[in-house]
Amino acid sequence: MFKSLVINKNDSQGYHTSLKELNDEDLQDGDVLIKVLYSTINYKDALAISGKAPVVRRFPMIPGIDLVGIVEQCDNDKFSIGEHVLLNGYGVGEKYLGGLSQRARIDSKFLIPLPKGITPFNAMAIGTAGYTAMLCVMALEKQGITPDSGKILVTGATGGVGSFAIRILAELGYSITASTGSAEQVSYLKELGADEVIDRAELSEPGKPLMKERWAAAIDSVGSTTLANVCASINYGGCVAACGLAQGMEFPSTVAPFILRGVSLLGIDSVMRPQQDRLDAWARLEQTKLADKISKISTTVGLEAAIEVADQLLAGGVTGRVVVDVNA
């Protein structure tokens, strides 16, 4: 027997998440059996656990879009018994049983080896948020954005993606503007590497189709009106990597930034990303000095506490990343 968070939806209890004991027969089909060490709470996990958005596609569901663990059984030669493996996305925690469990059975095509230079705990402190942030940075680099191009804006700066984006960009020598609604977190953002911090209110209300050029590029995890204003404020020939929807899914913009200033809007999907992109992003993450800031960016909770943390995250009460020690 082992413990898992389980989401159920039925006539008697409605939508309900609780800590339950399961056995291996309760797990889905897959060719790799994993002893899970750590998982995380991401924005999507919080939506799934709380039921505040239709993230879950089947019931019962074990949430958790991230996991790191040790291979206990593998039905092919892709992984060895005792090897550490890593998972981000692929619909796990939505369509497939996820990582907020002490054990998981996963399709091997969803897994990559844990990089040698990253510990299991740090892999989850980085998690989908840090991996997504690195995908965004790599997308800006492919568009020719360098530290000499000008200031880079990071919205949703105290969230997981924002926190890691700032740290990665700072390490690479970029000048960073952080946008946040948490005035009390200015020192946190500057410690990560932000050069200046602005109030998110500057970007969250409807603006003009074209606004003053302020940034060479941006990483946006907020969406909605904020993303529209960001695009309207990018320098000629700049670009925006869009990877989230914390403010909303709508995009109330015009074509003006794109056809009059040559701005590029880059969509960043981390869920179904091809294997090689994942390996490249994690190889870059392995090269960084993120481990030096992990304690600043992350906190740790046990499985049952993850339910309460999900509500706190949706209410904007969580800074950085939440690692879940599934065996605590």
- Each residue of 85-102: pLDDT tens digit? 999 999 999 999 999 999
With 80 as the cut, is the pLDDT of residue 273 above it? yes
Vertex 242 angle, CA 56 and 296, to 5°: 80
Spatial distance between the Cα atoms of 311 and 139, rounded to a whole number of angstroms: 32
What is the reported pLDDT for 296? 83
With 90 as the cut, is the pLDDT of residue 130 above it? yes
Spatial distance between the Cα atoms of 149 and 197, rounded to a whole number of angstroms: 19
Question: Is residue 205 a contact partner of residue 228, using CB atoms and an 8 Å limit?
Answer: no
Q: Which sequence spans correspond to the domains of the chain? A: 2-114+291-325, 128-267
pLDDT tens sequence across 241-263: 999 998 999 999 999 999 999 99
Spatial distance between the Cα atoms of 106 and 97, rounded to a whole number of angstroms: 8
- Token pair for residue 105? 């059975």
pLDDT band of residue 51 (cuts 50, 70, 90) is confident
Question: Is residue 127 a contact partner of residue 321, using CB atoms and an 8 Å limit?
Answer: yes
Amino acid at 320: G
With 80 as the cut, is the pLDDT of residue 70 above it? yes
What is the reported pLDDT for 320? 83
Question: Is residue 127 a contact partner of residue 160, using CB atoms and an 8 Å limit?
Answer: yes
What is the reported pLDDT for 250? 96
Average per-residue pLDDT for the chain:
95
Question: 3-state SS string over 115-184?
Answer: CCCCCHHHHHHHHHHHHHHHHHHHHHHHCCCCHHHCCEEECCCCCHHHHHHHHHHHHCCCCEEEEECCHH
Question: Is residue 123 a contact partner of residue 130, using CB atoms and an 8 Å limit?
Answer: no
Q: Express the helix, strand and coil content of the chain in percent, nearest 5 each.
A: 35, 30, 35
What is the reported pLDDT for 15? 86
What is the reported pLDDT for 12? 72
With 90 as the cut, is the pLDDT of residue 268 above it? yes
Report the CATH fold assignment for 128-267: Rossmann fold (3.40.50)
The CATH number of 2-114+291-325, from 1.10.287.3510, 3.90.950.20, 3.40.718.10, 3.90.180.10, is 3.90.180.10
Question: Is residue 154 a contact partner of residue 162, using CB atoms and an 8 Å limit?
Answer: yes
pLDDT tens sequence across 145-194: 999 999 999 999 998 899 999 999 999 999 999 999 988 999 999 999 99
The continuous run of DSSP H or E covering 32 comes out as strand 32-41
How far out from the chain centre does Cα 38 lie?
Answer: 15
What is the reported pLDDT for 156? 95
